[in-house]
Every structure is written in C-alpha cells, then in structure tokens.
C-alpha cells in the first residue's frame, strides 16, 4: 500500500532509503536542513577550488555498484570512476615515504622487503579477510539488528565463529606480521572505526581486504559526484527534495507520528524516517514521553572520532604528494590513546592529506593544488580558533618538510572545520565526525534500534544505527530501513 513518507536528512543513508522506498511505490519527500544534499559529503567552491567537505576515500566499489543495480543502473551512468595507483602514500617515522601499490604482486614485494616471509602470510591474512568481507558485508550488515532471532540460522552461527568476533584486531594481525611498519599499515583503518585495535573485533580485517585487495578509487570531479548521482537517481524514482527546511519537531499522537513541524508549518506523513543525527532526532525532535533512550544512555556510548579539518587552496603544485597521504611520522599508539583512552587534544598528532588535484585537474585552477587536511581527534573537545591554528601550524611544518617546499605562504584560500561546525551543520552528537565506534558492545542488536520502540511508524537510519559509520555502511543502512518499512506497511 502506497504511503506518504517524510525522510529527514539528505545524506547517503537518507537518499538511499528514500530512493528505495520510492521504488516500492511510496510518495517520498526529503527535508534537508542545509542548502544542498550529501550530509557530511557536501561540497563547496571558493576561488576556483572545489572542496569535498567530508568523505574522501572511495572503498568497497561493489557496494555502490550493487546499489545502482537495484534500479537497473550502473555507477558509470552517473560518474566516472578511476582506480588510484598508488592507492595511497604512507609517511613513516624517519621521513620514510612508501607508496602502497594497487597491484597485488607489487604489494607482496613491499611486504617482503619489510619482513621476509610476510608475503605468504599476507596471502593468508587477505584470504581470511576476504571471507569476512563476503559474509560480513554480504550477510550481517544487511540485518536490521532488531532481534537475536536474526542469527538463529545455524549456518550464520558457523559464519559468526569464523568472523573472529571475540578476538581483537590487535591479536589477530600479530599472528601474521611483526614489523612495526606493516602493523601500522594494516591497523590504520581501525583509527577511524572508533576504538583501539585492542578493543576492535578481528572481524574488521575485512577493511584490509577492501583496502588492499579491492583498491582505492576516485570519482572524477570529486566525492560529491556520488551524491549528485544518487540525487539524480532519487528524482528519477519520484523522490522530492526540499532544502533549507530544518525539522523542528516530530509530532506524535497516540503513539503514531503524524508528521513534522517546520518553520513553514506542519507537514503530514504516514511514515517518518530520521536520517539526521539519531541523538538529535530522538532527544530534541521528540517529546520526552516518546523517547526510548535517555541522555545517560547516549553519554555512555563510545563515539568514533571527530576531526579537525582544513580546506586549503594553494597557488602552486606540491612535490612528493599523492592523492592520499597518511602521516604516521609520530607515535601511532599514543595518538590512538589520546582519542579513545584518555580523550584530549593530541600531543603529537597523526594526520591525513588528500590532494585530489593530483588526480583531477577540475578541482583546482591550473598550476594550483587542492588540499584537504584531517587530524582525527576525540569528540566533545573545545575547539577555539587558537587551538585550530596551533594544530594547523604543527602539521603544516611536517607537510612542508615532506614536500621540501614552503606552503603556508602559497595558501590563497583557507577554511577550518571542527567539533562546533559538526554540531551546527549536522546536529552531531558531541561533535563526532564518524558516528558510533564499532566495538563489540556496539554491534548489530547492541546499536541504537532502527525502529522506534515507542512510536509505531518512526524509523532511524544512518551512522548511529545499523550497520555503522562510513559511506558504504550508510548506503546499506538506508536500504535496510527501507526493507523493514516495506515489510510492515505491505
């Protein structure tokens, strides 16, 4: 039966859910508080530069292909995807810069140079990671996480054992490698999952398979091209998008949401999906009697990191940079501890540099460089301008040293972005950038539920519910919630 559905938020999860619901015959309208779509993957332009504001890594290309295939389309119908080679560059201590090759044969040679015998162990490590990817991404992340009965199939229990849910990533990788450089290389995706490797299930070696085997890709024109493609697809399915329409209240009567209140008035709906920040939607848009969780619950959640970001336009090209550059030239373990164990501004931060103009001349004026700097930091920290400027100079000194040239005097555009900006633009809980940490105690049914326990026709999607943070998981989250809605309104 066709329903009038309102989606709050036009991020990846919101767009995926809305498009999937429209395909099922529902009348769907997305209300977005910002001036354009994409959520954290928005874009802005300044002085001839085009800056992606958030996600910059394109991993798991199969997830995107599967999404567009649902609607009889291909990724190539909406944007031009290229594989990066090298995938990225890592700058280790001692100013050692290493390109991570896209070809597996070259990658095996790289591992072997650092640790004799490790090429064969890399093969086995990735073989196990491939299984986790196939089962984890193919089965488990598509589960709505509403009941333990979802895991009652004995075949799934066998899979769960082989997924290494009870072993830490820290122990798992050390069965294969001992060289400090290789350990940092295989553990770096954990830094953005929201916990130390000691507290992250070995299941997440599937990220290494996504990284080292499936490769790092880039949509020409920038990551926002994905959003533009998804918006076009949504509109082709009949979805209506309205921007600059922040929702002020989810109106509930007798246990059912009847619509939302905006500055322009009341908008009625038969089903509501909150693709905005889960904490904000539940704690600020719902009256107290309709909230399933309380502030104490949220305060006890382990959040993934926030970020201090800088968007720079540089009026010259920079040597020695790749598209993606990971600066692991300081203590990896110390930085992780200062995010997760003893949250504070890092004393010697690791950082990441994206230079998409190395691949894509369209994102910067000729002869210029488009630079995106990111320091992963603990959420819920004060971020005054003097703190931002301190870290800007700290990491720019190291970037200049690596490139062998001055950069700060060539910066013609500069913008910073941190905790308070995430709160202002996305109502982000504690100013987080990535959602909930992927710890064992915050996995599957232990995440905030995708369906309200108190409001019959209210659902949630995005990085604070199943399956978790990241662009591909958010894309899946939207499809999963659409599937659950269709089951219940059919």
pLDDT tens digits for range 319-358: 999 999 999 999 988 998 899 888 999 999 999 999 999 9
pLDDT band with cut points at 50, 70 and 90 for residue 432: very high
Residue 331 confidence (pLDDT)? 93
Q: DSSP states of 243-299 as a string?
A: -S--EEEEEEETTEEEEEEETTEEEE-SEEEE-S-HHHHHHHSS-GGG-SS-HHHHH
Q: How far apart are CA 490 and CA 488, in angstroms?
A: 6
Q: What count of other Cβ atoms lies within 10 Å of the Cβ of residue 424? A: 10
Q: Per CATH, which fold does 4-42+62-75+221-301+438-489 belong to? A: FAD/NAD(P)-binding domain (3.50.50)
Helix (H, G, I), strand (E, B) or coil at 7: strand
Helix (H, G, I), strand (E, B) or coil at 394: helix
What percent helix, strand, coil does the chain show, rounded to 5?
45, 20, 35
- Say if residues 316 and 368 touch (Cβ distance below 8 Å): yes
CA distances from 411 to 49, 108, 254, 370 (A): 12, 39, 57, 10
Lowest-confidence range among 155-164, 201-210, 236-245, 328-337?
155-164
β-pair partners for 5: 28, 271
* Span 213-255, pLDDT tens digits: 999 999 999 999 999 999 999 999 999 999 999 999 999 999 9
The yes-or-no verdict on residue 156 having pLDDT over 60 is: no
pTM: 0.97
* Span 14-28, pLDDT tens digits: 999 999 999 999 999
Q: What count of other Cβ atoms lies within 10 Å of the Cβ of residue 140? A: 22
The yes-or-no verdict on residue 365 having pLDDT over 90 is: yes
Q: Is the peptide bond before 478 cis (omega within 30 degrees of 0)?
A: no
Q: How far apart are CA 41 and CA 275, in angstroms?
A: 14
β-pair partners for 306: 377
Between 161 and 290, name the one with better pLDDT.
290
Q: What count of other Cβ atoms lies within 10 Å of the Cβ of residue 146? A: 14
Residue 164 confidence (pLDDT)? 85
Residue 455 confidence (pLDDT)? 98
Residue 390 confidence (pLDDT)? 98
Average pLDDT of span 69-96 = 97
**Residue ranges of domains in the chain:** 4-42+62-75+221-301+438-489, 104-214
DSSP state, residue 6: E
Average pLDDT of span 2-6 = 97
User: Which residues are CB-contacts of 67 (< 8 A; sequence separation ≥ 6)?
Assistant: 16, 475, 479
Q: DSSP states of 150-202 as a string?
A: GG-SHHHHHHHHHTTTTSBHHHHHTTT---HHHHHHHHGGGGGTTS-GGGSBG
Q: How far apart are CA 229 and CA 19, in angstroms?
A: 12
């Amino acid at each position: 039966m066709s329903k009038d559905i309102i989606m709050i938020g036009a991020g990846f999860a919101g767009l995926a859910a809305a498009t999937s619901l429209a395909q099922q015959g529902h009348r769907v309208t997305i209300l977005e508080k910002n001036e354009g779509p994409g959520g954290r993957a928005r874009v802005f332009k300044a002085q001839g530069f085009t800056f992606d504001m958030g996600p910059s890594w394109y991993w798991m290309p199969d997830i995107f292909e599967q999404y567009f295939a649902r609607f009889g389309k291909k990724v190539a119908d909406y944007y031009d995807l290229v594989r990066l080679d090298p995938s990225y560059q890592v700058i280790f201590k001692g100013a050692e810069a290493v390109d991570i090759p896209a070809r597996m044969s070259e990658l095996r040679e790289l591992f072997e140079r650092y640790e004799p015998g490790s090429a064969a162990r890399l093969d086995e490590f990735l073989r196990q990671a491939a299984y986790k990817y196939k089962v984890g991404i193919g089965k488990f992340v598509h589960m709505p996480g509403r009941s333990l009965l979802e895991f009652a199939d004995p075949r799934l229990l066998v899979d769960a054992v082989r997924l290494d849910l009870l072993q830490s990533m820290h122990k798992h990788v050390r069965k294969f490698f001992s060289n400090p450089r290789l350990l940092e290389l295989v553990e770096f995706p954990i830094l953005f999952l929201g916990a130390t490797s000691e507290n992250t299930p070995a299941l997440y070696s599937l990220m290494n398979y996504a990284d080292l085997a499936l490769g790092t890709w880039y949509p020409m024109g920038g990551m926002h091209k994905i959003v533009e493609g998804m918006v076009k697809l949504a509109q082709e399915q009949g979805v209506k998008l309205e921007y600059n329409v922040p929702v002020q209240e989810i109106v509930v009567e007798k246990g059912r949401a009847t619509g939302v209140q905006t500055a322009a008035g009341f908008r009625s709906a038969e089903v509501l999906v909150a693709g905005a920040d889960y904490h904000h939607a539940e704690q600020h848009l719902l009256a107290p009697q309709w909230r399933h969780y309380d502030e104490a619950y949220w305060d006890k959640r382990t959040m993934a990191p926030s970020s201090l970001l800088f968007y720079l336009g540089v009026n010259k090209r920079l040597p020695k940079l790749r598209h993606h550059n990971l600066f692991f030239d300081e203590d990896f373990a110390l930085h992780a501890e200062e995010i997760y164990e003893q949250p504070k501004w890092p004393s010697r931060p690791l950082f990441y540099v994206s230079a998409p103009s190395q691949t894509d001349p369209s994102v910067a004026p000729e002869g210029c460089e488009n630079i995106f700097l990111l320091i992963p930091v603990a959420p819920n920290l004060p971020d005054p301008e003097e703190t931002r400027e301190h870290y800007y100079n700290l990491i720019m000194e190291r970037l200049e040293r690596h490139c062998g040239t001055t950069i700060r005097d060539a910066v013609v555009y500069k913008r910073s972005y941190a905790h308070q900006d995430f709160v202002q633009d996305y109502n982000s809980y504690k100013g987080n950038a990535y959602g909930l940490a992927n710890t064992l105690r915050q996995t599957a049914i232990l995440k905030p539920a995708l369906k309200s326990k108190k409001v019959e026709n209210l659902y949630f999607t995005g990085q604070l519910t199943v399956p978790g943070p990241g662009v591909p998981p958010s894309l899946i989250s939207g499809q999963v919630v659409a599937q659950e809605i269709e089951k219940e309104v059919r």
